[in-house]
Amino acid sequence: MSAAGRVSLTRAVLLLGVVALGLWLLTVELAVVGGGGGSAAADPAVRATAAGGRRRAHAQAAVRRSPDAWRTREWRRAVDRHAAVFRRHLADGMLAASSVAVCLGGAQEAMALRELGVVGAVAVARERSPPLAVAGYDRRLPFPDSSVDFVYAGRALDFSERQADLAGEAARIVKPDGHGHLVVLTSGASDAYSLGSLQSLLPSLRLLRSRVINGADGSTLRELVFRKHADIPTATGTSSSNGNNSGGTCADRDHKLEIIGLAEPLIRDEPAKPWITLKRNIKNIRYLPALADIGFKRRYVYVDVGARSYGSSIGSWFQKQYPKQNNTFEVFAVEADPAFHADYARRRGVALLPYAAWVRNETLTFEINDGPGPGKKNAGGKPNGRGMGRIRRAAGETKGVSSGEVRRVPAFDLAEWLKRTASEQDYVVMKMDVEGTEFDLVPRMIDTGAICLVDELFLECHYNRWQRCCPGERSPKYQKTYGDCLKLFTSLRNSGVLVHQWW
């Protein structure tokens, strides 16, 4: 064959190859669009990617008529990052071209979904910005109940000032019966405690899976996928159970026990000089916010039971030293001694409960020990010349106690009050210094389930300890022993309460 003939033959072969390749690509495209029986057509990720490829130009054309920020290089990078996350959800079948998808983090997320073929994806923003963003806010998302197939919260919960409200709204709009999914990205929830706190904000959803991914800034994020089921009741009010667990078995006991395992150990042997040992132990205390992320909570509450004056512990310790992780706490002061009530009248942000903490609502005899005099400090370093007050239930219990004042005071059921005031979605810190009444209050809180609402407890336990004034003699003021106190602390930790031996 001549050289010219060989060239013609080569051209003919190449032309046939190009035509064959074009026909093959057309066949694949028709199979994907038409949902043919091939393995590629059966893969939702392939279908969505192919559809996204055809629609990407259309989606970008819409963006050209939108805010300038949507056309920057950084915005484009964000779209690509979100698309990388969404591809797995497409491959898993949680997303399809027909999915009703809502993004809570930003318009870049909605753009990424549209480019992948989820044509109806929209974002929620403070102001409406068509075609990608609709107007909405944390307390009201503009979608009907159980109407959305896929809610992508992204980092919205991390950045929201009303996490509980936003979580509740996201759960509200997700479709039930396993058809709807909620995806959360968070820098928290890395420990069992904080993950449990997040799950408590989503009581109608179940955690389907979790994985670790890299954030845009190089940080490590956790992706949590939740699914809504019709057999899980949606919480109403403040909590799904509001501390109704009884017998010391709390719903979130297991993940709290993990935190307790990291706490400082209890002092097992009775100290010979408790006024020194217990005071020094404060330096060893490992606060819960130092062990876990407390961010996923509806509200933050501090209850000082036996508060005395504002400066006794609220102002001098809790406000100054307790690690709050930048959260604002509601403060309740429980104090029956009327001598301290005027102090709280000028304290903003503190709610005074002028009663004695007790196991039921009734009027009781309240005894106040003598102090050294007005305006001075007594032997225990207590201000205002007032000794510690305690409930006197029977005459026989006051043996050996000098009383400067006895009066009748109203008492209230602390356990029932706590159950009305707080929920399992709240973060509750309690300090209790009630001069021996802890042996009545704590069992009552365990029996009623109110103890399940307390995340961290600072408890001063009163027993017949060795006296500083009189070596070799025990205090006649209390009948309980150090062993009784140790049992009380142990029962609390077994119930899932991070309790500390307080001074």
Question: pLDDT by residue (tens digit) across 422-453?
Answer: 998 999 999 999 999 999 999 999 999 999 99
Token reading at 341: 């009530």
Query: For the stretch 487-501, what's the b/e string if a residue is b when 16 or more beta carbons lie within 10 angstroms of its beta carbon?
Result: ebbebbbebbbbbbb
Q: How confident is residue 50, by pLDDT bands cut at 50, 70 and 90?
A: very low
pLDDT tens track for 166-175: 999 999 999 9
C-alpha–C-alpha distance, residues 158 and 171, integer Å: 16
Predicted local distance difference test score (pLDDT) of residue 188? 84
Q: Report CA torsion sign: 481, 487, 488, 493.
A: positive
Which band of pLDDT confidence, cut at 50, 70 and 90, is reported for residue 468? confident
Task: In the chain, count H helices and then E strands.
Answer: 15, 17
Residues in the chain: 503
| Cβ neighbours for 170, distance < 8 A, ≥ 6 positions apart | 104, 141, 151, 153, 182, 202
How far is it, in rounded angstroms, from Cα 420 to Cα 443? 18
Instruction: Yes or no: say if 463 and 484 are a contact pair by the CB < 8 Å rule.
Output: yes
Tell me, what's the pLDDT at 300? 96
Q: Is the confidence at residue 31, as pLDDT, over 50?
A: no
pLDDT for the residue numbered 254: 77
C-beta of residue 427 within 8 angstroms of C-beta of residue 467: no
Start-to-end Cα distance in the chain? 106
Q: Which residues pair with 305 in a beta bridge?
A: 334, 432
Q: What is the mean pLDDT of residues 335-345?
A: 92
Give the tokens for residue 245. 């667990």
Can you say how many angstroms the Cα of residue 309 is from the centroid of all Cα atoms in its chain?
Answer: 31
CA–CA dist 204, 234 (Å, integer) = 5
- Evaluate if residue 67 carries a pLDDT over 60: yes
Based on its alpha-carbon atoms, the radius of gyration of the chain, rounded to whole angstroms, reads 32
Helices (H), 322-404: 341-345
Which of helix, strand or coil describes residue 48?
helix
- With vertex at residue 436, the alpha carbon angle to CA 434 and CA 441, rounded to the nearest 5 degrees, is 70
DSSP annotation of 474 reads: B
Instruction: State how far the Cα of 171 lies from the Cα of 221, in Å rounded to an integer.
Output: 21
Interval 120-134: pLDDT, tens = 899 999 888 888 999
Strongest mean pLDDT among 235-244, 254-263, 361-370, 489-498: 489-498
What span, in angstroms and rounded, lies between the C-alpha atoms of 46 and 26? 15
The region of weakest confidence among 153-157, 224-228, 387-391, 465-469 is 387-391
pLDDT band of 33, cuts 50, 70, 90: very low
- Paired tokens of 131: 């075609």
- pLDDT > 70: percent of the chain: 75
For the cut 50, the answer to whether the pLDDT of residue 26 exceeds it is no
Q: What is the pLDDT of residues 299-313, one digit of tens each?
A: 999 999 999 999 999
